[in-house]
Amino acid sequence: MRRSTPPVPLILLGAGVFLLVLAPMLTWYVEPRAKRTTVDVNVTTVFAGEGRYYDAGAAAVRSGRTITITRRVLGDVAASDRSGRAVWDVSTTIDTPATLKLKDPRRSFKWTTERWVTDRRTNAPVHCCGESPGPFEGDAYLKFPFDVGKRTYRWWDNTLGATVPLRFAGVERVRGYQGYRFSGAVKATRTGSRQVPGAIVGQPRRGQVQAEEWYANDRIDLVVDRRTGRVLNASLSPRVTLRAPGGRRDAVTLLAGDGVAFTPGTQREQVDSARRENRKLRLLGETAPLAAVVIGGFATAGGVLLLVRRTTRVD
């Protein structure tokens, strides 16, 4: 009479086969689906740097002052689609030392609000859900796509109202963490007009004129995490000026910053977040599949070996 097969070889064989099947699923199915833009984001990033601005009260340009840019990003979970789109509401304030103390966006030097809607997988713009500005374009803005390559990306510049090509410019470390650096610039471009006293733009005999507003960004540098597309550090040199109607030269500088960049605190938060996200993706895409293959292989081999030995003894 043949004895029944003991459970240990069958358990080992079953567990081994399960792990061997799990490994490619983690790599080809689970990990790619983990690469999705977060919908419940709540992040504040702060830029600071030296610059100058036009003080309307004193009718003079203030130089050598700290320019602070504060950007708050809040995800609209209800409007987002957990499998398809991410909806982020963005509030950006530009402050001088005087307005920063007020802690009121309505009294800042400049305050803008946006509603950014993107595809959670590709980071491409999605035109829905009250997007603003709209329609916008490009590959990158608040973040880059996952798996960043050494190529040129189209970065959306909201002040310009168009995309700016950012070219791969090498590898750079931010607080010891390695990322890809992308650089670009915006040549002086007319972006609109505003009514101002003629004296501001060199036409004192005219009461009010429709001055031309021009914008440039002498240098844009972004350091980006390769795997997640998170911006680790950003440095901007924006310049907003006014010209007399039809003028060829800037008459007055409204705002200019020289290398306004992430503060050390913001850099630290961005790097820490990138590390956490990388660990998660590495676990799903590399560590866990490799462990499943190794353990599953040993378990399967052990189960088969025990079954063969058992069969040989019985025979």
Contacts of 313 (CB under 8 A, 6+ apart): none
Helices (H), the chain: 7-25, 31-34, 97-100, 264-282, 288-314
Residue 191: its pLDDT value, please?
93
Q: Which residue has the higher pLDDT, 4 or 295?
A: 295
Pair 262, 176: CB distance under 8 Å: no
* pLDDT of 1 over the 50 cut: no
Q: Which tens digit of pLDDT belongs to each residue from 116-174? A: 999 998 999 998 888 888 778 899 989 999 999 999 999 999 899 999 999 999 999 99
Spatial CA neighbour of 169 closest among 185, 157, 180, 158: 180
Q: What local confidence, expressed as pLDDT, does residue 64 receive?
A: 92
State pLDDT tens for residues 212-251: 999 999 999 999 999 999 999 999 999 999 999 999 999 9
**pTM, entire model:** 0.83
Please check the confidence at residue 308 and state whether its pLDDT lies above 80: no
CB atoms within 10 A of CB 34: 15
Which run of H or of E encompasses 213? strand 208-224
Query: 73-116, pLDDT tens digit by residue?
Result: 999 999 998 668 999 999 999 999 989 998 899 999 899 999 99
* Domain range list for the chain: 35-262
Average pLDDT in the 298-304 region?
A: 67
Q: How far apart are the first and last CA of the chain?
A: 11
